[in-house]
Chain A
Amino acid sequence: MYKKLLISLLVILSVVFTAVLCSCEAEEAKFEVSNLVIEPSTALTGQIVPVIVEVTNTGGTEGTYNVILLVDGVEESSESVSLSPGASETVTFNLARDIAGEYEIEVVGLKGELIVVDFGEIFENTVQVMSDIESYHFTCTLEIELPIPEDAFSLPEELP
């Protein structure tokens, strides 16, 4: 009698314990950050470059996560995202640099590089070398696209 009661009690306790454990785990939101994209990875000074990551809530409940963008180890920008369980969101930071150079980009442990070049300097060199060109081989493709209505080239009406 007592043995049966004890077993029933143990079963009930284990069920309750499991349910409590599950509900505790579900309360916790967990975030994963992936797919760092810096496009283009070479930019002109002053050009805005989107730095994109994907944030996913892999936990059991809704939560908020603060995504931080570091440039050369220094916080540049941050953005909070609130996500339901299983949901994903793309976070985009717009980054621009006025000084040419190589910049290390980091978003929640994901690393990349942005190279910023001074176009004035590049083009100055281009003008110089192209001005010295005396001969070259070339191909040139010319494509004309005309949405021609049926009456576009109608002949003039004959006079009576």
Chain B
Amino acid sequence: MKRHYLSIIALLGLVVAVSILAACIIAVEIEGDYVEPDNLHMSMVIEMNGEKLPGIEVVKISEDVYVKNPETQQWMRGEDVEEYEQYQGLEEFALNSIEYILAFEGTDMLGDEDINGIPCYHVKGIISPEKIPDSTKELLSTDTESFIAELWIGKGDYLVHQMMLEIELEDAYDDPEMTIPAGSFTLTYQFSRFNEPISIEAPELLY
């Protein structure tokens, strides 16, 4: 099972739990820091059709996940926090962002654009699953031929300051027990504070 579809399934589960809607827009906002090789500290909030669910704070150090319980504000192991289920897997999008960039194939320049005051080339292209490293490949559906992607590359520093991925959900999930209508999801990243000193440490647990 592809992990990021698990996340989407979890989100869809929420949709069912809340109500049956004629159309649904789910937005997830993630903000945080990344330190090589796989340390993350981030906060996540899910919004469904304008209604925000309780946000959570996550620290991921290698395979260990720590979550701040939104009710008690105490740090716990991820599996012990019920609310984390809705967010589980979403951290993969943050962990794999650089790999998406490295697999980018540019096709068109869309022009010049400033991102947070930095002059950038705005380039459109695709991300082909064949070019994605094995660690990321399992996140992507083999049914998907390629993703539309846009990069904003700094003219002076060549860093990627913004990235947008557009992924079609059609035929992406084939569990015969569930029918998920076709749709699409868009991932927009902004990157900053490159190589600035960031410390991510395991929080003290409640027990």
Contacts and interface: CB of A to CB of B under 8 A. Distances in A.
Asked whether A and B interact, the reply is yes
Interface of A: 39-44, 47, 117, 119, 122-123, 125-150, 152-153
B36 A135 contact: yes
A129 B183 CA distance: 35
| Chain A residues touching B, majority SS | mixed
B102 A127 contact: yes
B186 A138 contact: no
B147 interface: no
A47 B108 contact: yes
B23 A139 contact: no
A145 B25 contact: yes
Contacts of B27: 141-144
B192 A126 contact: no
Given A130-B98, A134-B35, A134-B36, A152 B30 contact: no
Nearest to A146: B183
A42 B120 CA distance: 11
A122 B121 contact: yes
B67 interface: no
Given A47-B109, A117-B121, A126 B189 contact: no
B28 interface: yes
B83 to A, nearest CB: 17
A139 B109 contact: no
Contacts of B118: none
A138 to B, nearest CB: 5
B123 to A, nearest CB: 7
B109 A123 contact: no
A140 B93 contact: yes
A142 B30 CA distance: 8
Contact of B191 (A42, A137, A144, A145): A137
Contact of A150 (B22, B112, B191): B22
A139 B45 CA distance: 12
Contact of B198 (A43, A135, A152): A135
Most buried by B among A47, A128, A136, A139: A136
B11 interface: yes
> Which 8 pairs show the lowest CB-CB distances between chains A and B?
A40-B111, A146-B183, A125-B158, A137-B193, A142-B28, A140-B30, A144-B185, A144-B26
Interface in B18-38: 20-36
Contacts of B189: 138-140
B192 A137 contact: yes
B159 A130 contact: yes
Contacts of B26: 142-144, 146
Given A119-B123, A134-B35, A152-B20, 11 more contacts: A119-B106, A133-B159, A137-B198, A139-B29, A143-B26, A143-B188, A144-B28, A146-B23, A147-B181, A148-B20, A153-B15
A139 B26 CA distance: 17
A138 B181 CA distance: 30
B17 to A, nearest CB: 10
B56 to A, nearest CB: 15
Contact of A138 (B33, B106, B157, B184): B33
A133 B195 CA distance: 6
Given A135-B196, A136-B195, A144 B35 contact: no
Contacts of B90: 142
